[in-house]
């Protein structure tokens, strides 16, 4: 591997060293959630882009943002809807009961057909 030309280079903040084709160059690098304005790194207000879906509330952080989701939604941007918001009236106990009755009916039908064959 080629030696890193930034090892012997010091850049004054907010400049960072970038090694390109074996040459060290001091460049402005603000990092995630920040942008260069003139010669200063400033916070980006990601909430202006309205990243929170389904009525979620956006809070600008430094750096980044946070979506607080309403009832029935989850995910970084409130993109996932749960069963509570999907309109399905079937609850877990009812689903288990329906599955149990279906299996019992299959067993009874299997026994009836087995007796008829003999």
Please give the pLDDT value at position 86: 47
Please give the pLDDT value at position 76: 96
What is the residue-wise DSSP string for the chain? -PPPGGGG----TTEEEEEETTEEEEEE---TTEEEETTEEEE--GGGG----TTPEEEE-SSSEEEE--TTEESTTS-EE-HHHHT----HHHHHHHHHHHHHHHHHHHHHHHHHH-
Domain boundaries along the sequence of the chain: 1-43, 45-87, 88-118
Q: Which CATH class is domain 45-87?
A: mainly beta
Please give the pLDDT value at position 68: 98
pLDDT tens digits for 95-104? Answer: 787 888 888 8
Given a cut of 70, the residues of the chain with pLDDT beneath it are: 1-3, 82-92
The Cα 17–Cα 1 span in angstroms is 18
Please give the pLDDT value at position 58: 98
Please give the pLDDT value at position 65: 94
């Amino acid at each position: 591997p080629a030696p890193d030309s930034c090892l012997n280079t010091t850049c004054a903040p907010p400049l960072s060293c970038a090694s390109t084709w074996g040459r060290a160059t001091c460049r402005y690098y603000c990092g995630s959630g920040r942008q260069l304005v003139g010669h200063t790194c400033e916070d980006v207000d990601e909430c202006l882009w309205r990243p929170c879906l389904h009525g979620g509330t956006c809070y600008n952080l430094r750096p980044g943002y946070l979506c607080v989701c309403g009832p029935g939604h989850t995910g970084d941007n409130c993109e996932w809807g749960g069963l509570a918001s999907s309109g399905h009236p079937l609850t877990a106990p009812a689903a288990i009961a329906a599955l149990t009755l279906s299996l019992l009916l299959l067993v009874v039908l299997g026994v009836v057909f087995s007796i008829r064959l003999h």
